[in-house]
Amino acid sequence: MFRKILVANRGEIAIRIMRACRELGVQTVAVYSEADKNAQHVQFADEALCIGGAAPKESYLNADVIIRAALDSKADAIHPGYGFLSENAAFAADVESANLTFIGPAADSIRAMGDKAASKILMKQANVPTVPGVEGLETYDEFKKAADEIGYPVLIKASAGGGGKGMRVVSAESELKEAIELARSEARNAFGDERLLIEKYLEDAHHIEIQVFGDKHGNLVHLFERECSVQRRHQKIIEESPSPLLTPELREQMGAAAVKAAKAVGYYNAGTVEFIFDSKPSTLNLKPSFYFLEMNTRLQVEHPVTEMVSGLDLVHWQIRVAAGEAFPFAQSDLCQHGHAIECRIYAEDPAGGFLPSTGKLLQFIPPQGPGIRVDSGFAVGDEVTHFYDPLLAKLIVRAESRADAIVRMENALADFIVHGVTTNIDFMRAVLATDDFRQGKVSTRWVEEKFGAWSPAPADALTVIAAALADVVFVGKAQSAVSNESDPFSPWKQTGNYRN
């Protein structure tokens, strides 16, 4: 087992990894930007190093500085979390070249799956179902010919990267040229790579992904599916397992396809194979009804959903297999227990196009109770800045049935109190209350179609007053506690825990 691990990330995922390290008896090193000097993950770690300015490229995306920090702190390994450098093949290779262990897959596996066009070609060769499309196109005439052959609507998307960037849906030829130009520009700005591909756009598709896990000894299994169809701007906001759509036969077929995809690139550690599930198979007149979308060669944001229904700690096992242990479970040993749902709690305005919200957290009171888990990197008094993703927390619930899990999530959302920034909590409650969600009839386009004109109910007077007074009460009580503290050994005086 490692003695010390540097966590090359921030926020809730950094804390999640550090918590697993504590349980395994491993020391942790946090890295932080100048904007994150008071962040929760910095306080949670055994030691912390500042690695640069607030902008990600000056800190969390600065591979050389992160590796140097690991060497200077005498860490044995680096865990990248998700986002930032987690799927950067060059970073993974450089970590290993520095005689450190990269807690994730091999650089070659990341590289093979990191390019959407190349990975689709690879999956076709491995007989994994893929959406009909064409890769390696350059000119408008090539795109036009491919679109005519595939049939509208089509999807133009970046070959490198994800997260909805460099992606455009085209319904008719008249939209094609502008869509190509916009997608190419966005891909160039986001990923430094303007290559695009084209594929059939499935209008009533569901997004279903399969968690895979392997070790360095050749053992590779799937840990079942997560339904991720509730999305905004092509980004997931609610995930659940099991999927309300899958039959046992389909689950087995998709799991086998995911394992086949992972084996094609010699995969080990945690990874996710994402599929588009066609709720109307006649759309393509093809079988099966699911098609390879991409592979995320890292831990997923929504990994707690799998943990809640599988009983496995994925981060524990990430660390253990990176240290050389064998993953001891065969496919026949694994099963799903109960039902889990995750809601991503964002500082954003759903009524304003889901634009991020920034500010100071005047109140931040997560729900508690049986079957409720909250992963967060924030506390009262923290600042939500414009530099990073506005994810405040991941709220996960588990119950014996899907109906019970929905009720538990509804109550947990009602109990989640946040003041100081606008959040999507009320929006999540509105989603869960719909018949479509309760019946599992939610496609990837559902949010934009159903909630295009959504706005929250007006807050009652007491809520408004409480929010306005929260900052005054918080600051006044904390300052009073510090100024009136007579104990010279008080932790308030010793550590400066209070922050304006």
This prediction has a pTM of 0.87
> How far, in Å, CA of 426 to CA of 393, rounded?
15
Q: Are 116 and 199 in contact (CB under 8 A)?
A: no
The pLDDT of residue 303 is 98
C-alpha torsion sign, points 286, 287, 290, 296 = negative
Whether residue 363 has pLDDT greater than 70: yes
- Residue 335, sorted as left (phi over 0), alpha (psi -120 to 50) or beta, turns out to be beta
The Cα–Cα gap between 500 and 494 comes to 16
Q: Give the model's pLDDT for residue 25.
A: 98
Q: Is the pLDDT confidence value at 485 over 60?
A: no
Q: pLDDT at residue 496 above 50?
A: no
- What CATH homologous superfamily does 132-200 map to? ATP-grasp fold, A domain (3.30.1490.20)
For 430-455, the pLDDT digits (tens) are 999 999 999 999 999 999 999 988 88
- Structural domain boundaries of the chain? 4-103, 132-200, 205-450, 461-495
154 Cα distance to chain centroid: 26
| Per-residue pLDDT at 489 | 47
pLDDT score at 495: 39
* Contact between 101 and 244 (Cβ < 8 Å): no
| Interval 480-488 mean pLDDT | 46
The strand pairing partners of 31, in sequence order, are 49
Lowest mean pLDDT among 63-72, 217-226, 467-476: 467-476
Beta bridge partners of 374: 395
Structure confidence at residue 234 (pLDDT): 83
* Contact between residue 14 and residue 378 where contact means Cβ atoms under 8 Å apart: no
- Which residue type sits at 216? K
pLDDT tens digit sequence for 274-310: 999 987 655 555 555 899 999 999 999 999 999 999 9
Confidence of residue 488 (pLDDT cuts 50, 70, 90): very low
Average pLDDT over residues 456-480: 57
Q: Do 132 and 284 meet the contact criterion of CB atoms below 8 Å apart?
A: yes
CATH numeric code, 205-450: 3.30.470.20
Weakest mean pLDDT among 165-169, 208-212, 445-449, 455-459: 455-459
Q: Is the CB of residue 305 less than 8 Å from the CB of residue 269? A: no
Q: Which two tokens stand for residue 133?
A: 């499309």
Across the chain, what does the average pLDDT equal?
91
Mean pLDDT across the stretch 243-270? 97
Q: What is the pLDDT of residue 287?
A: 57
Q: Distance between CA 207 and CA 202 in Å, rounded?
A: 11
pLDDT at 349: 96
Say yes or no: domain 4-103 is CATH 1.10.10.10.
no
Is the pLDDT higher at 497 or at 83? 83
Quote the pLDDT of residue 288. 57
Mean pLDDT to the nearest integer, 131-147: 93
CA distance 263 to 244: 27
Quote the tokens at residue 326. Answer: 């064998």
- In terms of DSSP bridges, do strands 290-296 and 47-52 run parallel, antiparallel, or are they unpaired? unpaired
DSSP, collapsed to helix, strand or coil, labels residue 349 as strand
- pLDDT(131) > 60: yes
Say whether pLDDT at 479 is over 50.
Answer: no
Q: How confident is the model at residue 285, as a pLDDT?
A: 55
* Cβ contacts of 474 within 8 Å, gap of 6 or more: 362, 380, 381
With 80 as the cut, is the pLDDT of residue 113 above it?
A: yes
**Average pLDDT score over residue span 386-408:** 97
Q: Which of 112-121, 269-278, 293-302 has the lowest mean pLDDT?
A: 112-121
**Per-residue pLDDT at 463 exceeds 80:** no
Percentage of the chain lying above the pLDDT 90 cut: 81
Average pLDDT (111-133) is 91
* CB neighbour list of residue 410: distance below 8 Å, 6 or more residues apart: 429, 432, 433
Positions marked active-site: 298
Rg (Cα) of the chain, in Å, rounded? 23
Specify whether the CB–CB gap between 405 and 399 falls below 8 A: yes
